[in-house]
Amino acid sequence: SYTVTLVVSNGSACKDTLIRTNYIQINTVNLGFTASDTFATCPPLTVTFTNTSLAAGNFTWAFGNGNTSSLTSPTTIFTLPGVYNVKLKGTNSAGCMDSVYKTITILGPNGTLSYSPINGCAPLTVQFTSTNTNTTQLIWDMNNGVTQTTTGSSTSYTYTAPGKYVPKLLLSDGISCIVPDAVKMNWAGIRIAYDCIIFCIYRNSKTAGIGFALNFQNGFGCGG
């Protein structure tokens, strides 16, 4: 608040003074919060935020992990490695708005997963590739009960049964941190058909000639 002083003079020795104490009020938003933890060597990390704001309300939290909250003192879980900027926004009774930030840092392996082809007939050999950081071991889950463990960032696998598969990749730092689902997933998955149209060469026993037939492969090859 500010005190205003007005001094009036008539140009000679006469003057008067008017004082208004705390006449101008400037509203501010005093926001603040603490975090139960701001650093971890491996996810997941559960953090509880305690709101220490004064004369403020209408709180909005953005945790940087895709989650938000309007609670006064919320809790969230960080499931992946990364640096997260947690933002608290609030307003006071005069409608003034402000924001404060705090950083959460989580170490651990991280990366992406890609695979191709994603459609075909059984048996289908699929190539898997990962781009990753802080990783010494990769565990490839083929979504059919089979896993492969490698130190390299690529592998291949042949699916022999028709169906839809959504492979996953677990990343390990080789010490104590294994991060499941630490990669961007292709949720469309791999689709393997059971019946595929193929061309088959057959011998006509009556004419002793060679012909062609368009059949459906049913897992046992072509008929004819």
Q: Give yes or no on whether 33-106 and 110-193 have one common fold.
A: yes
Does the structure show a pLDDT above 70 at 126? yes
Mean pLDDT of the chain: 82
Say which DSSP state 54 is in.
B
Stretch 210-215: mean pLDDT? 40
Distances (CA, A) of 54 to 31, 188, 207: 6, 48, 97
**Model confidence at 109, in pLDDT bands (50, 70, 90)?**
very high
Comparing 23-32, 137-146, 159-168, 178-187, which segment has the lowest mean pLDDT?
178-187
pTM above 0.85, yes or no: no
**CATH number belonging to domain 33-106:** 2.60.40.10
Q: Please tell me the class of the 110-193 domain.
A: mainly beta
pLDDT digits over 167-192, tens only?
999 999 988 898 876 555 555 678 88
Domain ranges of the chain: 33-106, 110-193, 194-224
Query: What integer pLDDT is reported at residue 195 of this predicted model?
Result: 56
What CA–CA distance (Å, rounded) separates 222 from 209?
18
Residue with tokens 């960032």: 153
